[in-house]
Structure 1
Amino acid sequence: MKPRSLKKSLLLLFILFFIGVKGLELPGSCKTSQYYDSGVMMCQSCPANVSMVVSQDGFSCTCEEHSVPVSIGRCRPCNATEVVSVDGRSCVPRRCQASSGKLVCRKCPVDYITVTHGLDGSPLKEMQCVKCARGYRPYNNVCVRCESCVCAQQEIVVRGRCLPKRYVNDRPKYDETKMHPNELLDIVKHEYFCTKNDLLACRHLASECVRRFYSLDLAGPCRLWIQPKIPQPKGLAKLSIETTLNEKDPTEIDLARGMNKLNLALGVFTSEGRLEILRDPDLTPPCFLPLSINIGKDYSIDCRMNISQLQPSFNETLSPFLYTENDLKVLPVLLRQTNGQYVQRGTWPGKFRRYFIIHNSLSFTSNMTNTIYLRTLLIRLRIERNKLKSTSLQLHISIEAQYAGKSPLSQSITTTLRVEHDMPSAGVLRGLEIWGGVLGALLSLYAVAQWRGNLRRGGLHFTIVPYMAGAIADALYFAAWFSTLHALAAEAGALGLTLPLSRSEEYMIRAFVYSAVGLKALKVAWINWNQCRCDIFFMDWSEYNPPMKDTPVIDKSDNWRTSTLAREWSRLQTKRRTSPAYTVPLTLIIVYLMRPWHGYLPQNQGYKWAVGTLAWWSAYVIVTALRWLMDRVLGAPTAALARLCTGLGLSLLVFQEEYYAHYVHGRNDDSDARSLAGPLAACRVVCAPQLRVVYKQLSTPGLGGLVEKGPRKVLLSKFLAAFFERALDGLSWVASERTVLERLLDVELVAREPGNTSALLYDPGDGAPSCFNVTWWGEEWSLGSFDAMIYGYVFMTTGDTLVAGLVTLVAWQIMKLLRSSFGNKNQREKTDVDLKL
């Protein structure tokens, strides 16, 4: 702290302490009849019976009205027959006489002034009334010059000035009822004296022309500008920007490499005829110029102000300027009237260069004041790439002033300053065409291959819809992401600054992302619906007996081993390869670490979404890689199902489609030569049509006598167990290894043996049960990309990474709860195993 500031602070503390101890009074606490004596710091009353009252500032006493000072602290009132002299020091008698018993004193007429002192400054013995000379009139008891008082015979008085009658008569008559007569007379007066090269009159006339929105009426305030036959006075101000063929458009500006700011100054044309250039933004409210604009960053601010605050300081016309260190260039302004219509140039050459903030005009029909104010100042910046110089940009700037009328019921107005950018194309649209075409074609072909395999497995033709929806969603999402990343990489460093995306590119990216989320949601909903309707069988080999005609069938669905396997299968239905519980926090950490780099990015949701998506997939890859390493070291969690089946002596059979099932062999009787071993212990079953026909006959109530002899599901389990124990009459099966391409794309491309031969498909060296394909484990790509799309969708909408992460986690948990609920319901209906036991 500086010594001077320290002394002031100590003095203030001492005074406050002294006041608190002594009980002294502060200024402003005195009564209306008291004044504050700063010497004793107390309130005092003025002396009584001396014609003194409290002064206006409240710190002393002064003489009452119609009183004069006699000495220090004493005044005396003047008599009723006296007046106070001009200097306020003496009482001067008036000429009075008695009339009808009353005393009547002289008063000066309207055209006279009161004189109380002589030429030598001494008070007169009697007040005198003096008439002002020709050409002067009384004003505040002083004779001032009056030009209208000495008008010639051929002149007429117009608003206190003498104008030639011929000029007034020859001037076009103003027939409209939009202007009050007094305002029209002022315009006529300023117009005449402007033709006489009166600079101040020309300034007033220019301001009126601007406030009347550059009126095209020949009798209006803009007459000297729009009538070419009238010689223009030397002091006539320029209200439009005129350019020739050799001059450069003032709205076109070359941006050098690395130039990322644009400075706008404000030119104020005062009523005294001066032009002031304001460059400091602190001199005006934030909703007005001057302003420093960051290239590529939109800006908007609202200011609510009282109308009385704008009257004294904003009643002048303004002009925007673009300034650099060595240059000052005026910018054109486009005006929009209160009715929403633009001011047309008409006979005006070039573009307008002035605007106003507030204008009060008298109503033509009533004695009211109408207020028109600047509602919105809109600055549009259109940036184009320089065709001649690849390292520079061309900027076109347009300024639009939009006006509105103030309600007479309110004393406040709201003004808005808005900066909008129209950016050049960054190549995103072209990238969307390329990436969208390539990815769309490849993924559509893959979707058709999946659909064809689904039909072979016994699926419905309707499944083409979710398959194509998922493929198109991936194509849209990754095409938008790759195109945006490519544009960001191409823009960075090319011009010294990274420009934001254009509005069309921004809207197109949003459309792609939002469409991808909707289509992917359809695919995920179909996946969950399809998985919650598959047939499930738990085959207990310890209770297996060959199906003889008279052998009773016993329902053992409440067996503890069956319940244990059912619970494990219920738990595995929603198990993910890469859980969002780890991906979301790691994504937020990566985004936080990238925060310093975000300052170099433009304020554009498209680029932010691309960088946020990059953080998501980076976290996803890291979590997936760590999970793969853990599975290699500790063992994959999918192997637990096969071990559980072996330990319980149960086998699991899940039908994905009508002719396609997944089998996990759990028979622990190794003495049987028919026992499946090796890769066949966890295989896929391509069912022969005859097997499926028998399966349907046994599963349909009322067909044959087999159903009445026991529970239908137990009978089906025994039938399917017999298929793996030994071939039924007329049925056989063959083991077949899936090709590399089939394992990679998860589709059946090779036609298996036709007829009544069922095929057991296995993957060499892969101990993971194929039944995980009917759980979330086998749909990791669809679910993982869906999580990424939800995260990107919310982040693009809100711009908050934390909200996007929370919404993704909530959506995952809700979907998991629904999937578990419907999956358990399906398992209970298909196996009669109640998981509550």
Structure 2
Amino acid sequence: MCATDREQEYPTSPSLQIDLKVIKYDARGKFLGWEDVRGETLQCTVEVSDLLRRVPEPIFYELFLQFEDEKGDTRLWQVPVNNPAIRTNGQASSNPQMLRRLFLVDGLSGRKYNLTNTPASVTLAAELLLRLPAAVASAGVNEYQVWCCWDIDKAETNSSCFTCLSAQIDVSFSVSYIQSPGTAQQATDIAFGVLGFLALLSAFLETGTWVRRSRLPNVNFMIILKFFAFFAGSLANVFFVVTLGIGIYWLIVFKGQQVSAVEMMLPAAGSQIETNFIVYLLCAFVLKSVNIIHILITQTTVSIFLIDWEKPKARQTVQASTGNQGAASSVSAWRTFLIANEWNEIQTHRKVSPSLQLFAVLLLLEVVGLKNLASRDLNVNLNPDPNDYQAPWSPILRFGIAASVWLAVWIVQVVFSVGFYERFVEDKIHQFVDLCSLSNVSVFILTHRCYGFYIHGRSVHGHADVDMDTIHSYFRKEEENLCPLRGLEANSEVQTFEVLLTDKTRTLYDRITQSSMEVCFLIIFCYPLQYAPKFHPGFIHGLKNNFLAILCQVTKILKSLNFIFRLWQVPRGKHVRSDLHSQRLKGYHALNRFLISFLEHRYKDLDYVVKDKYLMERILDMEFQEPGDINILYNDDRSLFSRTLFYNHELTLVLFDILLFSAVDLGAQDFVLATVVTFVAQKLLQMLRDALGRRNLAEKTLVEKQFLI
């Protein structure tokens, strides 16, 4: 039979029961009759002596498939036979020839010298495989096209190894359903093309927004680095969406079939579809890890300052340790410490509980038994008998069921947290804004050079450093509407804003903060040199004379590493000159006075306006209008300042958890181990964010690290 015969087609129905018939011939070619192929044991162990006793001479079979055509007439179609054990000139053929006949046991050709002698070897079909492509249903079509092929694997028993008649051979019969990938890979490629283009467009928009907010005139290395960071995050989402779609698709289509009508088959183990899926999943995990690193760097390098609106009630003269007279304000610093501690606490606050998430996912997968849906068979029993046959796991189905359970539990948690818990129990983000108003402290944050957020915490009562009775009286006034609203503008309750500064304002802001940088430079470099006898005095004098030039160069190199502000948190027991501390405090008070004057419209050339963003600006998260000569504060009713916290990146964090969980399970095939590894990674990420955020907060707000509990 030629190879093209295997492409022969015949019509069937979805509920077809395959009816096979064979024609039997003896070794002399004599016709022995027709016989129906009946179901027997699929896998067993038999002795060679039993086979020879039952089949002393080989019987040849021609296999036919019996079916009815459209007219109801009975038809026969011969099934081609492929024997991969056949060798041509000692080598396997690259293009195997399809055969008409097959035999199951051959004890005749192994008899030497005389046909009555005991066979030296027995050839038998140890593995029989009936390959049937699964029919693919299409809309409006009621017929399916199927071809089948019979594969035989040859096995020999050699009497030199063991007694031939007492040898035991494992024989098996199986049916393999093969399905052409068809348009599945094409659909995946199209999805990657479309979503990849959208990811590229999103990265360009985010980079353009970052450049506009940073006021960078020329393309530099930092812009290119930012583009790749944004593109990595967007591309990770594309890979995740595609892999999730593939997993859920096969989970629904394959597991949703009934055993009597199998139309779709799962991609075979090691097939190109499964290999591509694993590559997509690993790419998503790597890119999402880059996205998480980018978020960590961005959040732990923001510029944050706590504006204290409290005015001193009285001033008193105190004697400093150096013998100089100075004026000390009666304003307490504990309110600023309180706000700094609350900000430090909410830095790693999330909308959901990661530990509860892991517990619920593991409970559903292992205890409820949803993991059993990931087997390669059509069994949908969640609690199968341990003694029953367990089909191998499919990585596509394991990811599909695991990711689906993760997202389902996460959505339930988010809905409960946002819809109930934050509304009726506790909302830490809005409570922080209320605490700022109670403490008479505002928060000024710059995430870009000329863009950031402002939380207006100025008390409507003028003072917050008061006793308990006065605070209760303040609350009663607010309840009875006997005081102004808390908003920045009159008759407004909006306390959170997006800030868009002009270059002039930012330049003045940097000039004021420059004094703090100079102090840090003195502490780090110049002050130790005064106690270093190995340096010539002229070198130290020249260093001080060229201080500004040296400071400019050092600032450019060390600013990205956040090293300039390192000495704001002075270790205990270190001796630091009091005049340097005094200069640091002067820089802090100067910046505090500048921001208060700026917010009170005292600088006409640095004035600002408060306005709402357009709808498209809110959707695209960018500003169409250039600030020009006036600063802009956009009303923010969505608490966007939480972008500097974990709270606003919940989706990114949960996708990272899902991908890490799936990547570990992909290698270990163990949901328990994946849960443990994910839990440890969550804790390490939280500890790293907390440590770096606390350090940055201590450096930028002048609150000692020891006070951040």
**SS of structure 2 residue aligned to 1:539:** strand
The 1:338–1:329 alpha-carbon spacing in structure 2 relative to 1, beyond 3 Å, is closer
**SS of structure 1 residue aligned to 2:44:** coil
Q: Which residue, out of 481, 493, 514, partners 2:244?
A: 481
Equivalent residue number for residue 518 of structure 1: 286
Equivalent residue number for residue 495 of structure 2: 681
Q: How many angstroms apart in 2 are the aligned matches of 1:444 and 1:395?
A: 44
- State whether structure 2 residue 331 is matched by structure 1 residue 568: no
Equivalent residue number for residue 83 of structure 1: none
Q: How many angstroms apart in 2 are the aligned matches of 1:671 and 1:403?
A: 95
- State whether structure 2 residue 44 is matched by structure 1 residue 285: yes
Amino acid at match of 1:809: F
The 1:748–1:280 alpha-carbon spacing in structure 2 relative to 1, beyond 3 Å, is closer
The 1:691–1:244 alpha-carbon spacing in structure 2 relative to 1, beyond 3 Å, is closer
The 1:506–1:667 alpha-carbon spacing in structure 2 relative to 1, beyond 3 Å, is same
Amino acid at match of 2:262: L
Does structure 2 retain, via aligned residues, the 8 Å contact 1:253–1:396? Answer: no
Amino acid at match of 1:730: D
The 1:512–1:281 alpha-carbon spacing in structure 2 relative to 1, beyond 3 Å, is same
The 1:419–1:392 alpha-carbon spacing in structure 2 relative to 1, beyond 3 Å, is closer
1:802 CA displacement: 4.8
Equivalent residue number for residue 301 of structure 2: 533
1:794 CA displacement: 4.5
Q: How many angstroms apart in 1 are the aligned matches of 2:701 and 2:168?
A: 73
Q: How many angstroms apart in 1 are the aligned matches of 2:668 and 2:425?
A: 41
The 1:593–1:374 alpha-carbon spacing in structure 2 relative to 1, beyond 3 Å, is same
Does structure 2 retain, via aligned residues, the 8 Å contact 1:684–1:760? Answer: yes
Does structure 2 retain, via aligned residues, the 8 Å contact 1:536–1:653? Answer: yes
Amino acid at match of 2:633: L
After TM superposition, list the pairs within 5 Å mapping 1:75-86 onto structure 2.
none
Q: How many angstroms apart in 2 are the aligned matches of 1:636 and 1:564?
A: 18
Does structure 2 retain, via aligned residues, the 8 Å contact 1:735–1:762? Answer: yes
Q: Which residue, out of 154, 157, 180, partners 1:424?
A: 180
Amino acid at match of 2:455: V
Q: How many angstroms apart in 1 are the aligned matches of 2:94 and 2:650?
A: 64
Q: How many angstroms apart in 1 are the aligned matches of 2:650 and 2:98?
A: 67
- State whether structure 2 residue 413 is matched by structure 1 residue 623: yes
Equivalent residue number for residue 817 of structure 1: 687
**SS of structure 1 residue aligned to 2:703:** coil
Q: Which residue, out of 724, 732, 739, partners 2:614?
A: 739
Q: How many angstroms apart in 1 are the aligned matches of 2:135 and 2:460?
A: 78
Equivalent residue number for residue 64 of structure 1: none
Q: How many angstroms apart in 1 are the aligned matches of 2:23 and 2:345?
A: 70
The 1:342–1:645 alpha-carbon spacing in structure 2 relative to 1, beyond 3 Å, is same
Q: Which residue, out of 622, 626, 629, partners 1:748?
A: 622
Equivalent residue number for residue 640 of structure 2: 770
Amino acid at match of 2:632: A
Q: How many angstroms apart in 1 are the aligned matches of 2:96 and 2:414?
A: 71
1:438 CA displacement: 3.5
Higher relative contact order (CA 8 A, sep 6+): 2
Equivalent residue number for residue 261 of structure 2: 496
1:774 CA displacement: 0.7
Does structure 1 retain, via aligned residues, the 8 Å contact 2:285–2:660? Answer: yes
Equivalent residue number for residue 14 of structure 2: 257
Equivalent residue number for residue 335 of structure 1: 84
Q: How many angstroms apart in 1 are the aligned matches of 2:244 and 2:131?
A: 27
Q: How many angstroms apart in 2 are the aligned matches of 1:498 and 1:600?
A: 15
Q: Which residue, out of 232, 235, 251, partners 1:469?
A: 232
Does structure 2 retain, via aligned residues, the 8 Å contact 1:687–1:759? Answer: yes
Q: How many angstroms apart in 2 are the aligned matches of 1:595 and 1:668?
A: 55
Equivalent residue number for residue 444 of structure 1: 200
Q: How many angstroms apart in 2 are the aligned matches of 1:687 and 1:643?
A: 25
Q: Which residue, out of 455, 466, 474, partners 1:664?
A: 455
Q: How many angstroms apart in 2 are the aligned matches of 1:375 and 1:244?
A: 21
After TM superposition, list the pairs within 5 Å mapping 1:371-386 onto structure 2.
377=127, 379=129, 381=131, 383=133, 385=135
- State whether structure 2 residue 153 is matched by structure 1 residue 401: yes
Q: How many residues are matched?
A: 557
Equivalent residue number for residue 651 of structure 1: 442
Q: How many angstroms apart in 2 are the aligned matches of 1:558 and 1:378?
A: 88
Equivalent residue number for residue 790 of structure 1: 660
**SS of structure 1 residue aligned to 2:304:** strand
Does structure 1 retain, via aligned residues, the 8 Å contact 2:79–2:149? Answer: no
**SS of structure 2 residue aligned to 1:336:** coil
Q: How many angstroms apart in 2 are the aligned matches of 1:390 and 1:557?
A: 85
Equivalent residue number for residue 759 of structure 1: 632
The 1:530–1:332 alpha-carbon spacing in structure 2 relative to 1, beyond 3 Å, is same
1:574 CA displacement: 1.3
The 1:646–1:341 alpha-carbon spacing in structure 2 relative to 1, beyond 3 Å, is farther
The 1:253–1:660 alpha-carbon spacing in structure 2 relative to 1, beyond 3 Å, is same
The structure richer in helix per residue is 2
The 1:473–1:833 alpha-carbon spacing in structure 2 relative to 1, beyond 3 Å, is same
- State whether structure 2 residue 404 is matched by structure 1 residue 614: yes
Q: How many angstroms apart in 2 are the aligned matches of 1:384 and 1:668?
A: 73
Q: Give the gaps of 5 or more residues in structure 2.
A: 68-75, 113-118, 217-221, 314-323, 381-390, 464-483, 519-546, 552-578
Q: How many angstroms apart in 2 are the aligned matches of 1:527 and 1:590?
A: 31
The 1:378–1:807 alpha-carbon spacing in structure 2 relative to 1, beyond 3 Å, is farther
Q: How many angstroms apart in 1 are the aligned matches of 2:659 and 2:178?
A: 28
The 1:343–1:676 alpha-carbon spacing in structure 2 relative to 1, beyond 3 Å, is closer
Equivalent residue number for residue 583 of structure 2: 710
1:531 CA displacement: 0.8
Equivalent residue number for residue 212 of structure 2: 456
Q: How many angstroms apart in 1 are the aligned matches of 2:677 and 2:124?
A: 42
Q: How many angstroms apart in 2 are the aligned matches of 1:340 and 1:356?
A: 24
Does structure 2 retain, via aligned residues, the 8 Å contact 1:338–1:403? Answer: no
Does structure 1 retain, via aligned residues, the 8 Å contact 2:6–2:148? Answer: no
Q: Give the gaps of 5 or more residues in structure 1.
A: 1-241, 289-308, 363-368
Amino acid at match of 1:620: W
Cα deviations by residue, 1:203-253 (Å, 9 ceiling, x for unpaired):
xxxxxxxxxxxxxxxxxxxxxxxxxxxxxxxxxxxxxxx5899xx759977
Amino acid at match of 2:686: K
The 1:671–1:651 alpha-carbon spacing in structure 2 relative to 1, beyond 3 Å, is closer
The 1:342–1:455 alpha-carbon spacing in structure 2 relative to 1, beyond 3 Å, is same
Cα deviations by residue, 1:572-611 (Å, 9 ceiling, x for unpaired):
1111123333444444566548679775579744345334
Cα deviations by residue, 1:541-598 (Å, 9 ceiling, x for unpaired):
33789xxxx9979899994433332222122111112333344444456654867977
**SS of structure 1 residue aligned to 2:14:** coil
The 1:632–1:347 alpha-carbon spacing in structure 2 relative to 1, beyond 3 Å, is closer
Q: How many angstroms apart in 2 are the aligned matches of 1:474 and 1:345?
A: 43
1:775 CA displacement: 0.9
The 1:646–1:244 alpha-carbon spacing in structure 2 relative to 1, beyond 3 Å, is closer
- State whether structure 2 residue 692 is matched by structure 1 residue 827: no
1:835 CA displacement: 4.2
The 1:264–1:665 alpha-carbon spacing in structure 2 relative to 1, beyond 3 Å, is farther
The 1:377–1:823 alpha-carbon spacing in structure 2 relative to 1, beyond 3 Å, is farther
1:508 CA displacement: 3.1
The 1:607–1:321 alpha-carbon spacing in structure 2 relative to 1, beyond 3 Å, is farther
Structure-2-length-normalised TM-score: 0.63
The 1:380–1:350 alpha-carbon spacing in structure 2 relative to 1, beyond 3 Å, is closer
Higher radius of gyration, 1 or 2? 1
RMSD of aligned residue pairs (Cα, Å): 5.3
The structure richer in strand per residue is 1
Q: How many angstroms apart in 2 are the aligned matches of 1:403 and 1:340?
A: 19
